[in-house]
Amino acid sequence: MAGIKGAAKLFESNLEPILGVAYGVAFHLTHNAADAEDLVQEAAVKSFCGFHNFQADTNFKAWFLKILTNAFFKRCKKKRCEPEIVDLEENSALYLYNQTCKAGLHKVSDDPATDLLRRIDAEHITAMMKLLPSEYQIVTVLYFMDEFSYQEIAEIIDCPVGTVRSRLHRSRKILQKLLWRVAEEQGIVSKYLNAQIPKENDRPNDLRGNIQAA
């Protein structure tokens, strides 16, 4: 009994400091507060049951998030929730640049692609991320939204760092095409071309700049 209580206490001491991060990842994956809480709870139960497999002095956060993302993968497969997306093979890494050139936006700004991304609200960006295949969505969320390093992501999803880089690169190409579509549908492109909106925006734009980066 003492051994079980000791293990439970040790598990809780490892889990408590990372619950906020875990919930953030879960929310960015599920896009729903109740589903995020449920996913974290499921991961907590599974990780506690398998806590005897955790190696002391290793990265508990990466170990726990691996369990959480695996649970997310299984839910997607069970619900058959893999989205249909644009053909990423036909997209250039300079897709946004090419489209802004065709639209004549370089007459208005030296960097219209970045300016357009700044004008797309966070809700639309999150919605477009949700359209990514699950294996791309997870690395994109971990890198852009939760700011994990390549190495940390590789540990979480159990793959080489090169695979993480490749998936992020392909995710950027998909997102560029999806977000250009949003900019057109929301009238942002035409308004920008007509110089009806200011070039600067005080909203955080690191995520938008990273999406454009190759």
Low-confidence ranges of the chain (pLDDT < 70): 1-3, 79-93, 195-214
Please report the domains of the chain, with CATH numbers, ordered by start residue.
2-79 (1.10.1740.10), 88-212 (1.10.10.10)
Model's pTM, two decimal places?
0.73
The pLDDT value given to residue 31? 85
The pLDDT value given to residue 196? 44
Tell me the per-residue pLDDT of 63-88, one tens digit each, with 9 for 90 and over.
Answer: 999 999 999 988 877 765 555 555 55
CB 109 within 8 A of CB 189: no
The pLDDT value given to residue 202? 44
Measured over all CA atoms, what is the biggest interatomic distance in the chain, rounded to whole angstroms? 73
The pLDDT value given to residue 107? 78
The pLDDT value given to residue 193? 75
